[in-house]
Homo-oligomer: A and B are copies of this chain.
C-alpha cells in the first residue's frame, strides 16, 4: 500500500467510525434491542471501503474532508443493512459475519430484518440532514444512492439475480451483470458521490463514471477471489468468478479491470492519485 493511502486510512477510518457512532441511536435508547442490533452489525469492524472511496474522491477536489464524513457514513449504513439482510436464513443463510455471529444469530430473525430496514431508513434520514452542501446537490446524491441500492441495475437487482443463479449455470456476461449490480453500483456511487460533492466538473464526473464502472466490477471479482481462497461460497454453488473462470484467470481479470480503471482516470492527473493507489491496494489483496 502506498504511504499516502496508508496515512489516508489512518486518518479517515477512525473519523468514519466516530461519525457512525454518533449517527447511530444509542444502545440505551428505547427500543433497546433494535439499537443494539444496528450498532452490533455496523460498528467496530469492516474495512469501510465504500466511505473511504467516497472521501478519497472528495479529497481530489477539496482539502478539507470533514464535510463529506456524514454522507460517506450514510453509504456505509446502506452497506451494513445489505449485509444483515443477505445473511438471513431465507437469503445466503450465513451464521458468521466479520468473525462474529451474524445479526439474526445474535438477535433473532425478526430483529435482524428490522435492523436492516432501520439502517436503510437511517441512511436516507442522515443524507437528508447534510448541511454542508446545497439542497439540490444532496437530493441528487439521494437519488443516485437510491438507484445504486435499488432494483434497476442496483444492489437489490444484483441480489435477486444472484439468488436466481444459485445452482444454475450462468454465462460470463450474466455473471458480470450480477456483479456490476450487486456490488459495482454502490461502490461506483460512493466514488461518484464524493467527487460530485467535492465539486468535480461535468467532464471530470464523466471520467469518474467510467472509473466507477471498472472499479465496481473489479471489487466484486476480488471479493469472489478472497472468498474462494477462504473456502467460502463453494458449497452454495454461488455464481462467482473463480467458479466460472478459475482462480488464476479471475486474478488476471481483476488486475486488467484495475489497470483499465487507472487508465480511465489518468486525465485527472495528480488529483486522481489516491484513487489510483486505491486500485493497487484492492488489486494486491488477491495475492
Chain A residues proximal to chain B, CB less than 8 Å: 25, 29-31, 33-35, 38, 81, 85, 88, 90-91, 108-111, 113-114, 116-118, 120-122, 124-125, 127-129, 134-136, 138-140, 142-143, 146-147, 149-152, 154, 156-157, 159-161, 163-164
Question: Given contacts A110-B163, A151-B38, is CB(A146)–CB(B128) below 8 Å?
Answer: yes
Query: Separation in Å of the A160 CB from the closest CB of chain B?
Result: 4
8 contacts between A and B (CB under 8 A): A31-B151, A38-B151, A85-B113, A111-B163, A120-B120, A121-B154, A125-B146, A129-B143
Contacting residues, chain B, for A135 (C-beta < 8 A): 134-136, 138-139
Q: How far is the CA of A140 from the CA of B139 in the complex (A)?
A: 11
Contacting residues, chain B, for A138 (C-beta < 8 A): 135, 139
**Across the interface, do A116 and B114 meet the contact criterion of CB distance under 8 Å?**
no
**Across the interface, do B147 and A34 meet the contact criterion of CB distance under 8 Å?**
no
**Across the interface, do B113 and A34 meet the contact criterion of CB distance under 8 Å?**
no
**Across the interface, do B118 and A142 meet the contact criterion of CB distance under 8 Å?**
no
